[in-house]
Amino acid sequence: MSDNAKPSLQQKSLPFGRSLYSHALQSCMLLCIGITVALVFFLILYILIRAIPYFSWEILTTKPSYLRGTIGVLPDILNTIYLVFTALVIVLPLGVGAAIYLNEYAKSQKLVKVIEYAVETLAGIPSIIYGLVGMLFFCQFLSLQTSLLAGSLTLVIMSIPVIIRTTQESLKTVPNGYREGAFGLGSARWHMIRTVVLPCCIDGIVTGCILAAGRMLGESAALLFTAGFAHALHGYIDGITSSGATLTVALYVYAKEQGEFEVAFVIAAILLVLCFITNYLAQAYGRHMKKIKQ
């Protein structure tokens, strides 16, 4: 081999063809990143710019009045809180219980596989289908009428997969040695789960819960059918049993049916902030638990 066939270590740049190719690809990827970031910021800025001029303390703290011609979103905020709270209270024991059964009790691996497959499929079903089924089953068959309760129950079915999945993942991270240790001291299965396994994976469960709450906040299709459109101001008990629009549904109604785009953008901004808060909480909680464990 002659010397000039070897690439020189002094030569700074690649051959022209390869360097062009490399630069072209790098630029492509930069462009992709640029477009993604620009889209996100455009969306956020656009919503905020459209919303801020109409933002007032009054709109946040009153209900709409046709007599005075004013608009307020307080009922929608409260409805959203009632709905998410109710759904979480119901879905947590169901989902966590199912995950514990699958991971700690179930003996037949075949059954577990079938259930896991069903849960995964449940997670992939478009939410409008949940709405349709929820309307027929909860509103009509169980005669709950169009109400926040019917909406919550529909959301419960929708978010069961998220809770089961996240709980199962964190149960699987608990070392088997802990279980053996507890059994070896004569503890019964449920006692072992309650005192050793669950304390280890409480952080996974909480994170799953926050994620599920985030999805509920953003859900609209399933609620159009089940939770209704009213903007009345209620306490919890009255609120949950009567028809009520959540923020997302109210946004749809104001923008699409009444042409009130200003209110729609105010609601969009509120949802955006709530979305930030839930994501931040999930991350902050994760970091906090990591610190405690160390």
Complex with other proteins: residue 112 or 233, whichever CB lies closer: 112
**Contact by Cβ (8 Å): 77, 143:** no
Complex with other proteins: residue 179 or 215, whichever CB lies closer: 179
Instruction: State the minimum distance, in angstroms, from the CB of residue 51 to other proteins.
Output: 46
List of residues contacting other proteins (CB under 8 A): 107, 175, 177-178, 180-188, 191, 195-196, 199-200, 293
Q: How many residues does the chain have?
A: 294
Complex with other proteins: residue 24 or 292, whichever CB lies closer: 292
Instruction: State the minimum distance, in angstroms, from the CB of residue 48 to other proteins.
Output: 44
Instruction: State the minimum distance, in angstroms, from the CB of residue 291 to other proteins.
Output: 13
Complex with other proteins: residue 79 or 103, whichever CB lies closer: 103
Of the candidates 64, 51, 44, 47, the one whose C-alpha atom is nearest the C-alpha of residue 253 is 64
Instruction: State the minimum distance, in angstroms, from the CB of residue 282 to other proteins.
Output: 22
**Residue 99 token pair:** 């995950």
Instruction: State the minimum distance, in angstroms, from the CB of residue 209 to other proteins.
Output: 21
Write the burial class of residue 204 (CB in 10 Å: 0-12 exposed, 13-18 middle, 19+ buried).
buried
Instruction: State the minimum distance, in angstroms, from the CB of residue 9 to other proteins.
Output: 48
Instruction: State the minimum distance, in angstroms, from the CB of residue 114 to other proteins.
Output: 17
User: Whose structure tokens read 């028809």?
Assistant: 243
Complex with other proteins: residue 196 or 232, whichever CB lies closer: 196
Complex with other proteins: residue 105 or 280, whichever CB lies closer: 105
Instruction: State the minimum distance, in angstroms, from the CB of residue 173 to other proteins.
Output: 12
Complex with other proteins: residue 124 or 186, whichever CB lies closer: 186
Complex with other proteins: residue 175 or 235, whichever CB lies closer: 175
Report the 3 state secondary structure along the chain.
CCHHHCCCCCCCCCCHHHHHHHHHHHHHHHHHHHHHHHHHHHHHHHHHHHHHHHCCHHHHHCCCECCCCECCCHHHHHHHHHHHHHHHHHHHHHHHHHHHHHHHHCCCHHHHHHHHHHHHHHHHCCHHHHHHHHHHHHHHHCCCCCCHHHHHHHHHHHHHHHHHHHHHHHHHCCCHHHHHHHHHCCCCHHHHHHHHHHHHHHHHHHHHHHHHHHHHHHCCHHHHHHCCCCCCCCCHHHHHHCCCCCHHHHHHHHHHHCCCHHHHHHHHHHHHHHHHHHHHHHHHHHHHHHHHHC
